[in-house]
Chain A
Amino acid sequence: MSMNDMTRRDREPAWWRLGLLTVALGLSIVSMGAQGRRGGTTTTDPIYQVRAALAHGDVSMARDLAANAPGGPARRALATALVEIFEGKDADARARLQPIAAANPLGDAALELGLLEVRTGHRDEGRRLLNALASVRTFSTPDDYLRLARAARGNREYLLANDAFQRVADVARPDIQTEWGDLFLERHMPGEAVTSYRLALKADERWVPAIVGLARALANDDPEQSRQDFAAAKAIAPDHPELWLATAEQALDDNDVDAAVDALDALGRVKPGSLDEAALRAAVAYKREGMAGAETAAARVHDLNPESALGYRAAAEQAARDYRFDDAAVLARKATAIDAEDSLAFFDLGLDLLRTGEEADARTALETSWNLDDSARLTKNLLQLLDHLDTFTVVPHGPFIFKFAPDEAAVLEAYALPLADEAYRQYTERYGFTPKGPILVEVFPSHDDFAVRTFGLPGLYGALGACFGRVIAMDSPHARPPGDFSWQATLWHELAHVFTLQLSDYRVPRWLTEGISVYEEHRRNPAWGRELTLQYARALNKGQTFGVKKLPDAFKHPESLAMAYFEASLVVEHLVALNGENGLRTLLLAYKNGATDTDAFSRAFGTNVDDVEASFQAFVQKQYGALAAAMGDPPRQVDANDIDGLRARAEAAPGNFVSQLTFGQALFRMQDLAGARAPLERAAQLAPEASGDGSPHMLLAAIAKQDGDTTRARRELRALLTYDHTNVVAARELAQLATDAKATDDEDFALRLVADLDPFDADTHTRLAQRLMARAEYAPAAVELQATLALGPANPAEAHADLAEVYLKMNKRDDAKREALAALEVAPTFARAQDLLLQASAR
């Protein structure tokens, strides 16, 4: 079943935090008074005080408070049960809660009992209790809304839960805001969760569940802050169960299984027998023992709660984390078999199947997830994306299946397929390996579609492509402004991942697979993958590079990611220089066989990481030492308009790039073009890799043009484009200068670059075709002309006639006649097309 956009729009949930939802709640709202909004007397309630003590990790105080709680035996029993639940003593808590819940089925005891029953595999009983609570529509305090929200969430009625939270959105109570944050986090809305957790901490900065929630919510976007939050929680309550649970999750994210086990052991000590612990142990078991281990661990979860899919879900998430999406899909499917009402399990299954390229099955799973929970934004995004993908042009080609947007297909097909073939051929030979296919390559003209295909959400602004082993998703040239990136380099990069991931059975560490992909880019085109050369040289000058041993860690920090990619590729380049290309294959196979970094280097190269580190540093110094010296800070700071100061600094530091460049730029700004030339030439000599509008070569080209020296201008632009390979503006300029000067070598170079960067520029295809025709390269000329016609040429009659001429040269008379007729249909009196028609018709 496929939902069309209108249907999905109809189902679209309103914007959660703004509270546009309308549920039955609205009719019976009792406005929260000022006292209620502040939390007021509620915080003096003994039950609240017990919750607060537990949230602060002070179990001892919680026990004391519970034992002495005023309000009668029932209140004391409830307070004690809360402590017992915290400590994992569910059976004791159940016994204590049951009589109170029976006496008051709409009270807190009923809520806690209902949640406990659901958690421990008595879903029907739990639902019965929670349904009663979720049906309440009379509210007088924030606690009434909180109770409803928690009951609804326990019943998987997420919209109702959210609506209840909205009614107390401005109540400054840490328990309410933390619970709301947890709901957001569960719904894949970390940004909203952060807001709630921060509100909670504003009310009580020691509320450990909020600190831990914040750390979880920030783990991807701000890992440094996340680490700090973890540390803060640990300082307050080192043995808080939620802290240990989150620590275990984070350790698995960091690929540190031993640390995860330690954390789970600690969790087991403070809260024995919890479902969460058992579920995460399934993830650990998968990591250590694969599918068999996951099965055993999932059985333990089953013992605790036969209705819970959490064990298989955790194992599936771990498999997905390890890029083993086939396993992840198998495990997620088992999760859905255990709990057919778990929308998140179906969502996970859908996402995993998308990553194995099984889009039809993915749709089925996602539709089921949507039917269970039509408030899930990610599910909606992915289903909409699948609807959109249905409109794409599918191009099966050898081991590949390409999917292009309909209006891009004709052009991208002409360019992408040969490039993919070349990559496949090279990689197959180089790595001695044929990957499992088909390899699905989806090219999105909208970056947000690419981001949704990758992670379910728009955004992901730094990424250009993604590879999941057999599936590649990437930006098309239309997804970003012209000259922003080379889509061909992206395709080449991602295809390398297909080989390294599969050859290593998905065990290659990230630093190595990225390093190889960037290295492969550079190998294909010396300008590709070297965009950060100057930044790297500057870092080298400052001693801020990572080296071999710190590279894996550098990949965990967003701020160092770009440089980590670059340096990883240098490591690979160095390893190839030392051990030959076969060494890479050996290294990947070592990882496949379970080696750690240390083992892998030893097995592959008979050396240790320290030795590789030492030789790498020597390699880097030899290759980039001079550039690093030039890229150092200038001897002193000088104002950009202080021409005398800049001159003095440039004279004092002839080997310093910044000193030369800034002096040259200042003279250029002042229109002292003759004066600017020398420092700019010096800067270009020191760092020929400098790119962009303010670069030495670009400015020298501008000076040459103003001097009327177009030959020099072309030379400078050519030098610039040798490194600045995505500068489509400079490439167009060079093409025009070269055309005017009939400098065919420059013209061919520049036109090819423009066509590669911006394949939707019909005029460039036309000009390129004319150059190819002039060189009697008719087959590639035909490709360019077909692209021209697909895009809509400036002059269709001429384009058809050109293609007719090319076909005639290729002795394809029928094709030539067809094109000549097409030209004449547009322009019946077009003499050249008439002659071509007569030639094509002559037998």
Chain B
Amino acid sequence: MLCMRRIAAILAVALAMGLSIPARAAADNDRFVLLVSGASGDPAYATTFRRWVDALTTMLHDRFQYAADHVVVLTETPKAGESKATADGVRQAIAALKPRLTATDQLVVILIGHGSDDASGAKFNLVGPDLTVKDWSELLASVPGHLAVVDTTSASFPFLAGLSGHDRVIITATNSVAQRYATVFPDAFIQALSSDAADLDKNGRVSLLEAFTTASRTVAQHYEQGGIMATEIALLDDNGDGKGTIAGTENAADGNVAAVTYLQGAAAQTSTDPETQRLLTRQRELTDQIDALRRRRGEMAADEYNRTLEGLLTELATVSHDVRQRQGQ
């Protein structure tokens, strides 16, 4: 069970750091997703994996307005527009994506299926020969732009250290090599990506940090409420140290980049009406001031902090209310 303190810690990371950094990959055509659903090994898993792939692709296209060619899908049994989830298929897909990506673009790689770990290293199980974490590291090494990898599989833990790097978000469903059972994290993560409840800062979008946090909570509940021992605990690394952080960790070293990494694009508000634009400008100023104030919280007396915060929040509420009124909302 998560306690309030843990949730507050999650938010502290997102708020203290996230809002002061411009959201990345703002334009729709700058964002790409590579979705690989590997070998299922069992009809029941095949059904489940297919359901997750379909849910994700539908979300990306319909809800997040991704262009068809910005979502590359490799599966065990490809449907129209999909490719075979083989090692060669992965190599070709990444090779095809590289020239399309610029330094400001964003690629999110999502792995669904089974993982394994043996003497030859951790692997993501594909149709035919697998790719080890080392193979993936080499394949992704020269990808331009911002990279996020979400490995939702069993035995995914070694991918955290293996793929960790500067300005990269790496999420794994497990946090130790001993966690080798099928995971429920992918289901929770996909649900979180499109859930209003996962939008913890209520900015209208779910960041990878918010999805990770919400999914981790769902996974923990799954095991706790079922009265069964948890066989998976997800990790996030985005500071490049390859160590990873569990959701809810206080004063976490990770989370700053994931907090501003979104699958969904942002619509920056502007107006041709001068008064509305003035209000929007003031709205942004106030938001920035609130962010700055919260970062200084530890240095301020509680009374002064609360008084200043209340003033700023009240003015922001008034301005935002006026904006909404002028926009007819």
Using a CB–CB distance below 8 Å, which chain A residues touch chain B? 407, 481-484, 728-729, 732, 758, 760-763, 789-798, 821, 824-831, 833-835, 837-838, 841
Contacts and interface: CB of A to CB of B under 8 A. Distances in A.
20 contacts: A482-B224, A482-B225, A483-B227, A761-B1, A790-B4, A792-B6, A795-B198, A795-B199, A795-B200, A796-B7, A825-B313, A826-B11, A826-B15, A827-B203, A828-B313, A831-B202, A837-B313, A837-B317, A838-B317, A838-B318
Interface in B28-82: none
A732 B226 CA distance: 11
A841 B314 contact: yes
A412 to B, nearest CB: 14
Given A732-B225, A835-B317, A795 B309 contact: no
A828 B7 contact: no
A826 B4 contact: no
B198, B225, B316: residue with the most chain A Cβ atoms closer than 10 Å:
B225
A758 B197 contact: no
Contacts of B321: 834-835, 838
B201 interface: yes
B9 to A, nearest CB: 10
A541 to B, nearest CB: 33
Contacts of B198: 794-795
A792 B199 CA distance: 15
B221 interface: yes
The 4 closest A-B pairs by CB, nearest first: A834-B317, A830-B202, A481-B227, A827-B202
B46 to A, nearest CB: 19
A826 B201 contact: yes
A735 B320 CA distance: 37
Contacts of A837: 313-314, 317
A794 B4 contact: no
Given A826-B11, A831-B324, A792 B313 contact: no
B197 A798 contact: yes
B221 A821 contact: no
A206 B5 CA distance: 64
A763 B221 CA distance: 10
Nearest to A797: B202
A125 B85 CA distance: 91
B316 A834 contact: yes
Given A791-B1, A797-B200, A835-B321, A828 B225 contact: no
A794 B192 CA distance: 11
Please classify the interface of chain A as helix (H, G, I), strand (E, B), loop, or mixed, using the class held by over half of its residues: helix
A792 B227 CA distance: 20
A825 B198 CA distance: 17
A794 B217 contact: yes
B27 interface: no
B197 A821 contact: no
Given A792-B4, A834-B313, 20 more contacts: A481-B227, A482-B227, A761-B221, A762-B1, A762-B2, A792-B6, A794-B197, A794-B198, A795-B198, A795-B199, A796-B200, A798-B202, A825-B309, A826-B15, A827-B201, A828-B201, A828-B316, A833-B317, A835-B321, A838-B318
B290 interface: yes
Contacts of A831: 202, 320, 324
B8 interface: yes
A796 B320 CA distance: 21
A728 B203 CA distance: 35
A697 B198 CA distance: 35
Given A834-B317, A838-B317, A841-B314, A821 B7 contact: no
Nearest to A790: B4
B225 A761 contact: yes
Contacts of B290: 828
A761 B318 CA distance: 35
Contacts of B320: 829, 831, 834
B3 A796 contact: no
A482 B226 CA distance: 7
B7 A793 contact: yes
Nearest to B210: A795
B203 A824 contact: no
Contacts of A792: 1-7
B214 interface: yes
Interface string B1-24: 111111110010001000000000
Interface string B271-297: 000000000000000110010001000
Nearest to A838: B317
A762 to B, nearest CB: 8
Interface string B300-324: 0000000001100110111011001
Contacts of A732: 225
A692 B198 CA distance: 34
Contacts of B15: 826
Nearest to A836: B317
Contacts of A483: 227
A818 B198 CA distance: 23
Contacts of A833: 202, 317
Contacts of B221: 761, 763
A826 B200 contact: yes
Contacts of A827: 200-203
Interface in B213-228: 214, 217, 221, 224-227
Contact of B4 (A484, A789, A795, A798): A789
A824 to B, nearest CB: 5
B304 to A, nearest CB: 15
Interface string B119-152: 0000000000000000000000000000000000
A794 B214 contact: yes
A120 B227 CA distance: 58
Given A789-B4, A791-B4, A834-B321, A829 B203 contact: yes
A17 B7 CA distance: 48
A833 B324 CA distance: 14
Given A834-B317, A837-B317, A828 B11 contact: no
Nearest to B306: A821
B4 to A, nearest CB: 4
Nearest to A758: B225
Contacts of B217: 794
Nearest to A817: B310
B197 A795 contact: yes
Contacts of B310: 821
Interface in B157-180: none
Contacts of B287: 828-829
B8 A796 contact: yes
Contacts of B2: 762, 791-792
B294 A829 contact: no
**Taking each of B214, B310, B317, which has the highest tally of chain A beta carbons within 10 Å of its own beta carbon?**
B317
Contacts of B11: 796, 826
A760 B313 contact: no
A829 B284 CA distance: 10
Contacts of B201: 797, 826-830
Nearest to B313: A824
A634 B54 CA distance: 50
Interface string B223-248: 01111000000000000000000000
A270 B302 CA distance: 80
